[in-house]
């Protein structure tokens, strides 16, 4: 997708007046927060599991090279193929080659943010291969020519009436008078349409929630079972996953699985958790003839050893955006990048550079709710602040903010001068506040007064008043 | 140890970090803080060499200025037994963020760490360190309390103000929905992303309204000015005050917004 992260402010302003979107965004708060809380409360060891999950990933990141090599060995031993892709372009090329070799005309796809990151669908389409998204949300946005607005609920920005309209527009082979008023009828219709696509597809492409080094297994979690059909019915299964998805063992996987669905949707487990190791063996009743893993770096190895390394612990549960007041206000598309919300505000600058994405780590109140629910305990606000530091160092911070800050800091670092200025300024400002004791507009404070009044100061500063009180006390005492 | 026993041992010397917003906009919060601390048995000092904790620079990515300001604050305050601020976000800046500013400079890091160990947010200092249970205040009103983010999530200030408010004679606490969700202030965020901030504070003000409270309290003046400004713009009567004003029984100063219902 086209990166429009630096148009965030304009995107957001549009989103705020989009009535349809605002209605849909209400579902994020209603749908996720309470369920996660209930799931967490129901498990006394939830916080201990989070610590454990964090430690597992920290260990992996400290030894990533070893685990990746071990993983590759195990995939090869199971009869699979491993492809190393340093860039998004490499990954696209590799997947296309595999599809071409299989003479693929259509490919089915399980839900995968990595294939969004590398813009795989556009690349396949441009080369005459039709990608078919099989996750219901992904299917809907593919029909609409959109990108996911949420990493686990890609169509969360839509209302069911919009989906009904899309289905009627596209599924013209079905009776026009059919009832699509209920979400379940939309689901059944999508199922029916997609069922045929699975059988026709030559290649199935999925992402991976985990890659297990000890067994060479890729793991996906879904609620619709679409991933299983995608990867078992095609002749070829291609897994596209980024390198930090590695976990050492099956046991580690189950540890992290225990926090994943609870943090994401409040489920104990997703409906389907599917482990795939290599292609179909002789004794298997079904499965693909070929099993490929494309391991994508795309800037991640450069994050190792930096202040952004912790971000590589992310398991893409979406809890950060589900709890983010900014995301609630503007939705995922406003971020103008593949990954929205707090995790996107940290990851996107790492992948695309801060020059093109500087708005994202700035668009946060630092309320810290994201970090408080992150199952992997990623210090998201801290890392957003680090991005602001990188911006400031390189003079990318907008000039008005930079000069304003410098002028303020000049006084803040000189208490005597600061006191002098404040002792004149505040009483004056208080006087201007008049009897209503507020400002409805004020020069240089338009950002504030556009939407709210500015309460007028009381008059003298606290330090002035305190000094006077102490002086009077001393006089009285003498 | 009760507060009177603490007094008998030796009055703890407390440096009051007033915070820039209280200093400039609402001195009455400073005086309320002094009264609460003195009533709890503290000897209160207000060093003149204080301006701001440095958050505007810190959160804009300006580490150099932040560090200079932090050094200035540490120098002015490190001699006290405790450093107390009537703000969760400023107290957290001093307590949680200062030491990290000096990473790699062992001498200063040690100094900052020792300093940060003595820093507290006002209300939790009263309850958790000075063991105050009842401030002796009385006020006939229905209040609702907003949990400011830094105090709540970085310092764990949640039950402390509610405990003390529960013992203010005449006060009825009406919890609002999502009291722990951000008000949209976020320091410079509210002017940099004015429209988004407005959407967030509009939601907050709606929750304040439906709580049925006549008075909104919180422990951070930034959040209070944001919510007060929105309430006032909407023509609401809800009175807005810093929690210290009510706990100290000092409500003669007109509120930040509103006139009471």
Q: For B257, which DSSP code?
A: B
In sequence order, the 6+-apart residues with CB closer than 8 A to the CB of A410 are none
Does the pLDDT of residue A29 top 90, yes or no?
Answer: no
Taking CA–CA distances from A439, the nearest residue in chain B reads B229
Q: How far apart are CA B59 and CA B63, in angstroms?
A: 9
Interval A336-382: pLDDT, tens: 999 999 999 999 999 999 999 999 999 999 999 999 999 999 999 99
The C-alpha of B236 sits at a distance from chain A's nearest C-alpha, in angstroms, of 12
- pLDDT for B106 beyond 60: yes
**pLDDT of B261:** 45
CB A280 within 8 A of CB A50: no
How large a percentage of chain A has pLDDT more than 70? Answer: 100
**DSSP annotation string for A342-397:** HHHHHHHHHHH-STTTTHHHHS-----HHHHH-TT---HHHHHHHHHHHHHHTT-S
Confidence of residue B5 (pLDDT cuts 50, 70, 90): low
User: B89-102: per-residue pLDDT in tens?
Assistant: 999 999 999 999 99
In angstroms, the first-to-last Cα distance of chain A is 76
CA-closest candidate to residue A346, choices A305, A376, A317, A303 = A303
Neighbours of A248 (CB within 10 A): 18
Segment B66-75 shows an average pLDDT of: 98
Confidence label for A400 from pLDDT (cuts 50, 70 and 90): confident
Which pLDDT score is estimated for A434?
Answer: 83
Contact criterion met (CB < 8 Å) for B198 and A389: no
Mean pLDDT, rounded, for B212-225: 98
A159: alpha, beta or left, given left = phi > 0 and alpha = psi -120 to 50?
beta
Give contacts of B153 with chain A, Cβ < 8 Å. Answer: 367-369, 371-372
Q: Kindly report, residue by residue over A284-317, the tens digit of the pLDDT.
A: 999 999 999 999 999 999 999 999 999 999 999 9
Q: Tell me the pLDDT band of A442, cut-offs 50, 70 and 90.
A: confident
Rg from Cα positions in chain B: 18
Strand order in the sheet with B169-173: B169-173, B138-145, B215-218, B239-242
Q: Where are the domains of chain A?
A: 1-38+326-397, 43-129+201-302, 408-477
What's the rounded Cα separation, in Å, for the pair A207 and A116? 10
Interval A23-27 mean pLDDT? 92
Distance CA A357, CA A85 (A): 24
Cα of first residue to Cα of last residue in chain B, in angstroms, is: 40
Contacts of A387 (CB under 8 A, 6+ apart): A345, A346, A349, A354, A358, A360, A361, B61
Q: Is there a contact between A453 and B31 if contact means CB atoms under 8 Å apart?
A: no
Contact B61 A393 (CB under 8 A): yes
Q: Are B41 and B3 in contact (CB under 8 A)?
A: yes
From the candidates A437, A457, A459, A462, which should be mutated to test the interface with B, based on the most B CB atoms within 10 A?
Answer: A462
- Inter-chain contact B30–A466, Cβ cutoff 8 Å? yes
How close B10 gets to chain A, by Cα (Å)? 22
**B20 and B85 Cβ atoms separated by less than 8 Å:** no
What pLDDT was estimated at residue A478? 63
Please, which residues have CB within 8 angstroms of residue A171's CB and are 6 or more apart in sequence? A189, A193
Q: Say if residue B2's pLDDT is above 80.
A: no
The distance of B1 to chain A (nearest Cα, Å) reads 30
Joined tokens for residue A252: 């580690």
User: In chain B, what are the domains?
Assistant: 3-127 (3.40.50), 133-247 (3.40.50.11810)
Look at residue B25 and give its three-state secondary structure: helix
Per-residue pLDDT band at B3 (split at 50, 70, 90): low
The pLDDT of residue B10: 86
Residue A477 is predicted with a pLDDT of: 79
- What's the mean pLDDT in B188-206? 96
Measured CA to CA in angstroms, residue A115 lies from A91, A95, A120, A132, B175 at distances of: 9, 10, 5, 12, 45
The mean pLDDT of B125-140, rounded to a whole number, is 98
Mutate which of B60, B75, B150, B190 to test chain A, going by most A C-beta atoms within 10 A? B60
- Determine which helix (DSSP H) or strand (DSSP E) holds A246, and give its type and residue range: strand A246-247
Q: Looking at beta carbons, which residues of chain B come within 8 Å of A465?
A: 27, 30-31
- The answer to whether B257 faces chain A, any CB pair under 8 Å, is yes
**pLDDT value of residue A27:** 86
The stretch A126-148 carries a mean pLDDT of: 97
pLDDT of residue B4: 53
And the tokens for A90? 């490499």
Q: List the structure tokens of A280.
A: 């179909």
Q: Average pLDDT, stretch A435-456?
A: 87
Quote the pTM value: 0.95
Judged on CB neighbours under 10 Å (0-12, 13-18, 19+), B33 is buried
Predicted pLDDT of residue A444:
73
Q: Which two tokens stand for residue B180?
A: 């722990």
Q: Note the pLDDT of residue B8.
A: 56
Identify from B23, B187, B238 which residue to disrupt to test chain A contact, counting A C-beta atoms within 10 A and taking the largest count: B23
Q: How many CB atoms lie within 10 A of CB B113?
A: 13
Q: What whole-number distance in Å separates Cα of residue A24 and Cα of residue A17?
A: 13
Q: What residues of chain B lie within 8 A of the CB of A447, using their CB? A: 190-192, 194
CB pairs under 8 A between A and B: 204
pLDDT of residue B28: 97
Answer whether B163's CB lies under 8 Å from A293's CB: no
Say yes or no to pLDDT of B155 above 50. yes
Options 3.50.30.50, 3.40.50.300, 3.40.50.10420, 3.40.980.10; CATH of A43-129+201-302: 3.40.50.10420
- Residues B84 and B122 sit within 8 Å (Cβ to Cβ): yes
Average pLDDT over residues A408-422: 93
């Amino acid at each position: 997708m086209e990166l429009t992260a630096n148009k965030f402010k304009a995107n957001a302003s549009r989103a705020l007046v989009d009535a349809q979107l605002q209605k849909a965004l209400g579902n994020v708060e209603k749908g996720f927060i309470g369920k996660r809380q209930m799931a967490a409360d129901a498990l006394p060891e939830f916080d201990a599991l989070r610590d454990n999950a964090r430690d597992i990933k920290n260990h992996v990141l400290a030894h990533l090279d070893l685990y990746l090599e071990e993983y590759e060995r195990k995939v090869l031993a199971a009869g699979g193929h491993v492809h190393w892709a340093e860039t998004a372009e490499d990954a696209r090329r590799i997947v296309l080659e595999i599809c071409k070799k299989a003479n693929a005309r259509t490919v089915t796809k399980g839900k995968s943010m990595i294939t969004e990151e590398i813009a795989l669908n556009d690349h396949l389409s441009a080369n005459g291969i039709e990608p078919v998204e099989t996750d219901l949300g992904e299917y809907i946005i593919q029909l609409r020519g959109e990108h996911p607005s949420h990493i686990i609920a890609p169509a969360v920005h839509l209302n069911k009436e919009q989906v009904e309209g899309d289905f009627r527009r596209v599924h013209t082979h079905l009776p026009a008078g059919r009832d699509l008023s209920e979400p379940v009828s939309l689901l059944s219709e999508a199922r029916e349409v997609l069922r045929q696509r699975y059988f026709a597809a030559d290649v199935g492409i999925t992402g991976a929630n985990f890659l297990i080094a000890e067994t060479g297994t890729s793991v996906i979690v879904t609620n619709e079972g679409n991933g299983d059909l995608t990867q078992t019915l095609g002749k070829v299964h291609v897994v596209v996953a980024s390198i930090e998805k590695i976990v050492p063992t099956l046991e580690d996987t189950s540890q992290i699985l225990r926090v994943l669905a609870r943090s994401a949707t409040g489920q104990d487990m997703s409906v389907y958790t599917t482990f795939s190791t290599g292609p179909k063996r002789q004794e298997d009743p079904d499965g693909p003839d070929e099993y490929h893993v494309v391991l994508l770096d795309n800037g991640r190895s450069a994050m190792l050893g930096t202040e952004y390394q912790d971000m590589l612990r992310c398991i893409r549960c979406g809890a950060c955006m589900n709890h983010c007041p900014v995301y609630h206000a503007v939705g995922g598309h406003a971020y103008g990048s593949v990954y929205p919300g707090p995790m996107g505000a940290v990851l996107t600058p790492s992948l695309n550079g801060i020059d093109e994405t500087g708005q994202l780590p700035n668009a946060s109140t630092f309320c810290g709710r994201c970090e408080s629910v992150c199952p992997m305990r990623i210090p998201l606000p801290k890392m957003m602040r680090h991005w602001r530091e990188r911006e400031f160092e390189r003079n990318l911070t907008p000039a008005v903010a930079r000069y304003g800050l410098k002028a303020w800091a000049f006084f803040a670092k000189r208490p005597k001068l600061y006191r002098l200025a404040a002792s004149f300024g505040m009483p004056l400002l208080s006087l201007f506040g008049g009897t209503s004791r507020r400002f409805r507009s004020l020069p240089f404070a338009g950002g504030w007064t556009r939407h709210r009044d500015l309460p007028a100061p009381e008059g003298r500063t606290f330090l002035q008043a305190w000094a006077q009180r102490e002086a009077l006390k001393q006089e009285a005492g003498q | 140890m009760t507060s009177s026993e603490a007094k008998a041992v030796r009055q703890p010397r407390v440096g009051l970090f007033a915070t820039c917003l209280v200093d400039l906009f609402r001195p009455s919060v400073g005086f309320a803080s002094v009264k609460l601390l003195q009533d709890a048995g503290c000897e209160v000092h207000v060093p003149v060499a204080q301006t701001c904790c440095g958050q505007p620079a810190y959160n804009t990515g300006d580490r150099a200025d932040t560090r200079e300001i932090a050094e200035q604050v540490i120098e002015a305050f490190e001699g006290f037994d405790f450093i107390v601020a009537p703000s969760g976000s400023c107290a957290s800046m001093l307590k949680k963020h200062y030491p990290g500013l000096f990473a790699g400079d062992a001498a200063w890091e040690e100094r900052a760490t020792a300093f940060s160990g003595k820093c507290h947010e006002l209300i939790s200092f009263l309850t958790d360190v000075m063991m105050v249970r009842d401030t002796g205040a009385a006020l006939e009103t229905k209040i609702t309390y907003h949990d400011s983010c830094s105090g709540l999530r970085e310092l764990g200030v949640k039950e402390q103000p509610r405990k003390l408010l529960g013992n203010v004679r005449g006060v009825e606490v009406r919890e609002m929905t999502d009291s722990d969700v951000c008000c949209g202030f976020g320091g410079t965020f509210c002017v940099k992303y004015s429209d988004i901030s407005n959407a967030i504070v509009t939601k907050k003000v709606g929750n304040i309204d439906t709580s049925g409270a006549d008075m909104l309290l919180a422990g951070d003046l930034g959040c209070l000015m944001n919510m007060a400004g929105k309430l006032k713009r909407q023509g609401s009567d809800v009175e807005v005050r810093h929690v210290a004003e009510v706990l100290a029984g000092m409500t003669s100063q007109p509120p930040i917004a509103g006139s009471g219902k």
